[in-house]
Structure 1
Amino acid sequence: MQTTMMRFQTIVVAITFSSASLSAMADDSNAKRRAAMIDRIDGALAERWTTEGFEPANRSDDSEFVRRIYLDLTGVIPRVADVREFLEDERSDKREQLIERLLASPRYPTHLANTWRQVMVPGGLDLEQLQNVAGVQNWLRRQFAQNMRYDRIVSDFLVATGGGEAGPALYYTSLELKPEKLAASTARIFLGLQIECAECHPHPFDHWKQEDFWGYAAFFARLQQAENRRGPAEVGLVDLNSGEVTLPDSETVVPPRYPDGNPVKKEAGGTRRVQLAIWMASRDNPYLPKAAVNRMWAHLFGRGLIDPVDDIGEHNPPSHPKLFEDLTDFFVATGFDIKELLRTLANTQAYQLSSKLDGTPPAPELFASMAIKTMTSEQLYDSLNRIAGGRPTEIPNFLALRSSLFDQQRLAFLGKMQMQGSNATEFDAGVLQALTLLNGSNINAASHAEQNGVLIALDSPLFSTEERVETLFLGTLSRIPNEDETQLFVAHVNDATDQREAMGDVLWALLNSAEFALNH
């Protein structure tokens, strides 16, 4: 009996050791593949700079980097303690370690879901639209929290029926289940193609014809909303056995056709959406990995290797063709791993360049300096809330919306703010947005001496005026003020009759600065 038990224990130990060894080998292999891809990215960009005769920007300083990486990976600026800890960290690999920590944080899937939701359901956030937004975003967050393969996410999204999983189904109803709208939208989001230009006539710059557009739209022609649902949060979809699309102003029926030009095989089973989902995740689809890589590059760098991000085609070649091809192959080899793609890009020297550049700025497609990106409305709201002493929030589910004043405040703020377009480097603030920033309740609450938790905590004889001002700079701009800034704001506070109110003035000025509203 003892001999048998010893043999069993030996086997268990051997299996455990073998599993650990295999895991370590896989991690080592992934690290080597990542390092090689990082070198290829930096090498390709450096070669182009040399060819064009440009000197790249210097490496970003730690303050610049910590604010940027927090906004890009978690959607909110870092806390004062986070900034101090990073600035004081003397480890040579502290940037790599911070990237890893943020990718493992619960804010990462929330921010990534928010980013993709804005792509899928753009527009104003009124009550009716929020029903769609909450379901889609909650579903996306679960996928990214599990680090689901991107091709699997897209496939599941395309075949969604609703039921207990309302998220993706709400996307379809937001586009009124119209085949032409769904074709145009899914092609832009998942394939990076603007095939809607061929809806009424041949594409003016690409090879798409009307038959191509309507052949793709035919995959959505048999979609219908299910009946007998109990509320807006329970949208369901069914795929009918009949339903066709025709060319505009004609009775010519167009059968389903994949964007690569191939028709659906007669022996193909399943609904039309299932057939599309199978093709979408197959090696026959060259567009899906390219579109994902380009969009994630733009997420971090402010613009894609192909710009606009949703206009891939022969008429619009990538700025770095070989790099784009290599990065796409890398993404496929990693198993369509979005997190690994972002990890790789964030660890490049190119991503960690400063946004400050002496002399004439080079063309943006050279990526010789970090692009200055505008904060999204959600990034701005959550950052203001963090400064005010609260916790960054997520868009609530529909049932919680009606009873939550705070959610209504968020909704009102987002409704007044300009939505960021496909190019994060473009900024066009309207009058209402400017007034919201200057005089809005969120700004006033965040900078009010009686309401802001940070200001209340700083109102202590333990802190000098210089330390208070420094803390506000770290909490808003993630940096220590320079000598001129320190003198200016310290003098304002010390000369004031009410120093608590004067500290609120300092915070108000920082929150309304361009430096705060931009991700650089």
Structure 2
Amino acid sequence: MPKNRSIRFALPILLSLYAISISQARAGEQDLSSSDIDRMVQSIWKSKGIGPVGPASDSEYLRRVYFDLTGLPPSLDETESFLQSTDPDKRSKLVSELLSDPAYGAHRADVLMGEIIEGRILNRRLPEESFRKYFESSFNQDKPYDQMVRELISASGDSAENGATYLVVTHQANPEDMTGTVARLFNGTQYRCFQCHDDKFGDWKQTDFWGTAAFFARTDIRPNERMENRLVSVLIQDRKNGEGVIPEGGVTPALNGLSKEERKKTRRQMLMEERKNPVAPSFLGEPVRVGKNENRREVLAKLMTSPENELFARSAANRVWADMFGKGLIEPVDDIYDKDAGEWEPLLDSLAKELVRSGHSLKTLYRLIANTQTYQLT
């Protein structure tokens, strides 16, 4: 993506073209192969006068791919079996085995859950079983990544029954916190940089941040079920009214730790601010008209994952590359907006297109990269 290229698109017609865009993105694209990736990498190395190092030994490759795909070392038996095998396809077969291993989903769940919570402390009285089950099963089943992200952004209901509520639960339904996390993880954009003021180094405005936060303004969280004084679950719901607002200082007052009367007073003050200076929903700087009966978070989820939003697939592909090589094609991985990958741009573009063509299969990208000669170098 060329630098300064605008990706702000005409949103009023986007949703009507949503299904068509997906089918077109998946059709007519030729499959990307591991050898295609190697050719692109080698071409860049050649232009720089760089020669590849030697191939990794079986033991090197074994430990590397185990840790990258499952987060675990191989067992002694697995190591002996692999090293003794004379099968010329044993590496590609191992990749398939690891991607089918439940440890793959557990590892990916650890990574994404950690990135979502980002240092926050989940209520220790709240069981995590439903959350882990959701993430692990989603990754192990290779649920389309765009579908998973839509579920995370729009999830509602009982947290004990719907593990996709993890995003809302860990952020206590705080609009600006959810906005910052969603933009960082799924759009590769640091929205927090213009939460309190206009971006001094780009074209982002403070209203762009709060326009996105407005999609979360109607989301509520409350205790749902207790057992012997232990919180079992919380309930996520969306109100039919309520507007986003830019609070004084760019930060919404924290309600945690306040007394019941203090919370009521703070909410009344916030409601008065909403009435005085409401902020309408917007995405990537463009206003979004949300129907009276539409759920705002569902609208945002569709906009975020639409093929029209190139940042979504680019961000995902860049993160997968970073998972396997320790560094993204664009760094940092959570700040890729308005940046290109330089000479690596064709490779990132190819990976992003392959992700869309494959139906947003993350396993497809991990498999492709793990089977490259580039990944198998020492």
- Work out whether the TM-score is over 0.5: yes
Given that 2:152 and 2:167 are in contact with CA atoms closer than 8 Å, whether structure 1 keeps it comes out as: no
Matches within 5 A, 1:7-406: 36-123=32-119, 128-129=123-124, 131=126, 134-163=129-158, 164-230=160-226, 232-249=231-248, 251-259=276-284, 261-267=285-291, 269-315=293-339, 317=341, 320-354=344-378
Distance in 2 between residues matched to 1:347 and 1:201, nearest whole Å: 46
Distance in 1 between residues matched to 2:294 and 2:174, nearest whole Å: 21
Distance in 2 between residues matched to 1:220 and 1:203, nearest whole Å: 22
Q: Any unmatched runs of 5+ in structure 1?
A: 1-31, 355-520
Which amino acid counterpart does residue 263 of structure 1 have in structure 2?
P
Identity %: 35
Instruction: Specify the structure having the higher radius of gyration (Cα).
Output: 1
Post-superposition Cα deviations, 1:184-233, rounded to whole Å, max 9, x if no partner, equal 01111111111110111222333321111111110000011145433533
Post-superposition Cα deviations, 1:219-267, rounded to whole Å, max 9, x if no partner, equal 00001114543353311111001222223438532100112x3322354
Distance in 2 between residues matched to 1:58 and 1:206, nearest whole Å: 43
Distance in 1 between residues matched to 2:291 and 2:238, nearest whole Å: 18
Deviation, 1:153, is: 0.5
SS in 1 for 2:283: coil
SS in 2 for 1:320: helix
Distance in 1 between residues matched to 2:67 and 2:115, nearest whole Å: 18
> TM (normalized to structure 1)?
0.58
How many equivalent pairs are there?
321
> TM (normalized to structure 2)?
0.79
Relative to 1, partners in 2 of residues 1:224 and 1:296: Cα closer, same or farther, differing over 3 Å? same
Post-superposition Cα deviations, 1:39-91, rounded to whole Å, max 9, x if no partner, equal 22111211111112222221111000000111111111001111111111111
Larger relative strand fraction? 2
Distance in 1 between residues matched to 2:224 and 2:101, nearest whole Å: 40
RMSD of Structure 2 on Structure 1 (CA): 2.4
1:447 alignment partner in structure 2: none
Given that 1:117 and 1:133 are in contact with CA atoms closer than 8 Å, whether structure 2 keeps it comes out as: no
Distance in 1 between residues matched to 2:47 and 2:78, nearest whole Å: 40
Given that 1:66 and 1:83 are in contact with CA atoms closer than 8 Å, whether structure 2 keeps it comes out as: yes
SS in 1 for 2:286: coil
Post-superposition Cα deviations, 1:14-49, rounded to whole Å, max 9, x if no partner, equal xxxxxxxxxxxxxxxxxx955x43222111211111
Which amino acid counterpart does residue 155 of structure 2 have in structure 1?
A
Distance in 2 between residues matched to 1:345 and 1:105, nearest whole Å: 18
Distance in 1 between residues matched to 2:219 and 2:100, nearest whole Å: 38
